[in-house]
Amino acid sequence: MAVAHDRGGKDSGGAAAGAGPVAAPSCAGRRGQDVDCDVLVIGGGINGAGIARDAAGRGLCVALCEQDDLAAHTSSASTKLIHGGLRYLEYFEFGLVRKALAEREVLLRAAPHIMWPMRFVMPHGPGQRAALLVRAGLFLYDRLARRELLPGSHGVRLSCHPAGRPLQPRFTQAFVYSDGWVDDARLVVLNAMDAAEKGACILTRTRCTAARREGGMWHVTLRKPDGKEKQLTARAVVNAAGPWTAALLAGALGLPQPDRLRLVKGSHIVVPRLFEHDHAYLFQHVDGRVVFVIPYEREFTLIGTTDVEYTGDPGKVAIDDAEIAYLCNAASACLRQPVRAQDVVWSYAGVRPLLEDASRDAKAVTRDYRLALDADGGAPLLSVFGGKLTTYRRLAEEAVDSLCRQLGRPAPAWTERACLPGGDLFGAVPQNRSVLEFDQWSASLQVHYAFLEPALVKRYARAYGTRIHTLLRGRANVAAMGEAILPGLFEAEVDYQRRHEWAVTAEDILWRRSKLGLHLGPDAVPALQAWLDRHPVLQA
């Protein structure tokens, strides 16, 4: 999902220092054969990163190439929810909803620092779906999958609930239910980090320009922004290019497309904080769509999303005035405080690559996924069509199961019982305690790192989890943090992101590895980019 920033400017210098040379995976030729890797994954969004992580953890030699930054498109432009998709029950997508609901708590336990439970308030008023229908839907939503962490749904009188005060007085009752919030871009980065720590080679800003089958292998050409090329051989290729999946098949891979993708644009706006409580809202709009209104980054409120058919370049997608007006009107129809276009401090838009189906309406197109295997010529190609953020781990597991069978390398699935980097708050095995006691764990860091401002330690805890100790290793005072490049951004953090998280540009740091760009204003990106240009990362 390409991101259009109304604050912070454009990406600058995709080939800047720190991107690194095109290199073969460290496992090249380890079995004495002329092959660079078992699996080449094309696409550094959530599905590609998840597949790379799973495959590397099963002992496969993996390389991943991404034409831009990790999560530069669809995977950083979601509504940032880990959810079953309550509205998909209307379209009888019970299998998808069950799968997504089962994944919520698996993911929460694996990465409690970048995701957490959230309660959602659905106001109910005249002219909306019948209350009995909503109750029935929530009853099913609560019971389609096992829950240990998330409380069930119930009805509330808004006059007795904090979430009632910001709403228009016509709303007297509401339903409250549970889902989860996630830092989507960091979720991608953590999957890539785990893949790399298990031996995968992660090649950002590296485009696949050609691939052919020959001698039971894939022979692939990879190109960096400076034009340098690397020839790579792989036993299997995964096409996880998101909105570019079809173009990659028809272009570099030279193969027909087995499934047709339907590109749907989703846009979001961010405004100054509209309410003080920590619940989110799900508003039912008059056109039958739902709009989420979510507390965001402490000082803001996130409103989204739209569903608009899209036929343009996925890399140039942007919100338009009609979508801004739609989101403002949808929120204003339910809130006491009107939301106006001039209140918008940031917006982003992107393209969801959805599986084509018989739905006329974009909002009804399935969010499920399909894995298409082409094993002609003895060199498998697995293409990923569709999918949603919440089900990425299951998708990756199924994809790697298939690859292992094709490659004759059987290995058990493992990710359901594994933490993502930084998520091992109380040990390597995911556990409910890490979710339920995160605040206590975070508070303990305030004592350990008392030389830093409490707000900064809290942000580090949320962004990095236990990897805060890597970031701050050997730093016993503020002077050891290095230069204060921008308010709240020390050289130590930038160095960590560049060395461990593939951050290259100011956009990577301020808008994907963090959302500091939202807090620091439009001058932050050029100021940080100038600093990065003056302080290149020395290549090993």
What's the whole-number mean pLDDT along residues 235-246?
A: 95
- Tell me the domain boundaries of the chain: 37-73+186-257+368-407, 113-181+261-355, 432-535
Give the pLDDT score at 254: 85
Give the pLDDT score at 18: 36
Q: Which fold has domain 432-535?
A: Helicase, Ruva Protein; domain 3 (1.10.8)
More reliable by pLDDT, 88 or 33: 88
Model confidence at 540, pLDDT cuts 50, 70, 90, reads: very low
What's the whole-number mean pLDDT along residues 491-505?
A: 98
Amino acid identity of residue 330, one-letter, is A
Percent of the chain with pLDDT over 70: 90
pLDDT at 9 over 60: no
Q: Which fold has domain 113-181+261-355?
A: D-Amino Acid Oxidase; Chain A, domain 2 (3.30.9)
Q: What is the pLDDT of residues 10-24, one digit of tens each?
A: 333 333 333 333 444
Q: What is the pLDDT of residues 402-435, one digit of tens each?
A: 999 999 999 999 999 999 999 999 999 999 999 9
Give the pLDDT score at 26: 55
What's the whole-number mean pLDDT along residues 470-479?
A: 97
Which residue, among 25, 66, 63, has the nearest Cα to 43 in the 3D structure?
66
Judged by average pLDDT, the poorest of 38-47, 49-58, 66-75, 367-376 is: 367-376
pLDDT at 1 over 60: no
Give the pLDDT score at 128: 78
pLDDT at 258 over 80: no
Burial 244-254 (b: 16+ CB within 10 A, else e): bbbebbeebbe
Percent of the chain with pLDDT over 90: 79
Q: What is the pLDDT of residues 422-470, one digit of tens each?
A: 999 999 999 999 999 999 999 999 999 999 999 999 999 999 999 999 9
Judged by average pLDDT, the poorest of 241-250, 357-366, 483-492, 502-511 is: 357-366
Which DSSP helix (H) or strand (E) runs through 99?
helix 94-110
**Category of 536 on φ-ψ map: left (φ > 0), alpha (ψ -120 to 50) or beta:** beta
**Category of 387 on φ-ψ map: left (φ > 0), alpha (ψ -120 to 50) or beta:** left
Give the span between the Cα atoms of 65 and 244, in whole angstroms: 14
Give the pLDDT score at 225: 85
Angle formed by the axes of helices 46-57 and 392-407, nearest 10°: 50
Model confidence at 138, pLDDT cuts 50, 70, 90, reads: very high
Give the pLDDT score at 25: 58
More reliable by pLDDT, 236 or 354: 236
Give the span between the Cα atoms of 310 and 30, in whole angstroms: 45
What's the whole-number mean pLDDT along residues 378-391?
A: 92
What residues have CB less than 8 Å from 261, skipping those under 6 apart?
A: 243, 245, 246, 353, 354, 355, 356, 385, 386
More reliable by pLDDT, 134 or 68: 68
Give the pLDDT score at 95: 84
Model confidence at 167, pLDDT cuts 50, 70, 90, reads: very high
pLDDT at 204 over 90: yes
Give the pLDDT score at 522: 93
Residues for the chain: how many in total?
Answer: 540
What tokens were used for 511? 């808008």
Q: Please give the C-alpha separations between residue 412 and each of 34, 403, 407, 482, in angstroms, as whole numbers.
A: 26, 12, 14, 44
Q: What is the pLDDT of residues 28-62, one digit of tens each?
A: 444 434 569 999 999 999 999 999 999 999 999 99
More reliable by pLDDT, 268 or 8: 268
| The CATH classification of domain 37-73+186-257+368-407, taken from the options 3.40.1440.10, 3.40.50.300, 3.50.50.60, 3.40.50.880 | 3.50.50.60
Give the pLDDT score at 382: 96
Model confidence at 367, pLDDT cuts 50, 70, 90, reads: low
pLDDT at 261 over 80: no
Instruction: Return the SS3 of 526.
Output: helix
Mean pLDDT, all residues of the chain: 90
Model confidence at 359, pLDDT cuts 50, 70, 90, reads: low
Which residue, among 430, 481, 444, 484, has the nearest Cα to 112 in the 3D structure?
430
Q: What is the pLDDT of residues 144-163, one digit of tens each?
A: 989 999 999 999 999 999 99
Model confidence at 275, pLDDT cuts 50, 70, 90, reads: very high
| Cα 273-279-280 angle, rounded to 5 deg | 75
What residues have CB less than 8 Å from 249, skipping those under 6 apart?
A: 239, 255, 256, 257, 383
Alpha carbon of residue 537 to chain centroid: 26
pLDDT at 362 over 70: no
**pTM (predicted TM-score):** 0.93
What's the whole-number mean pLDDT along residues 284-312?
A: 93
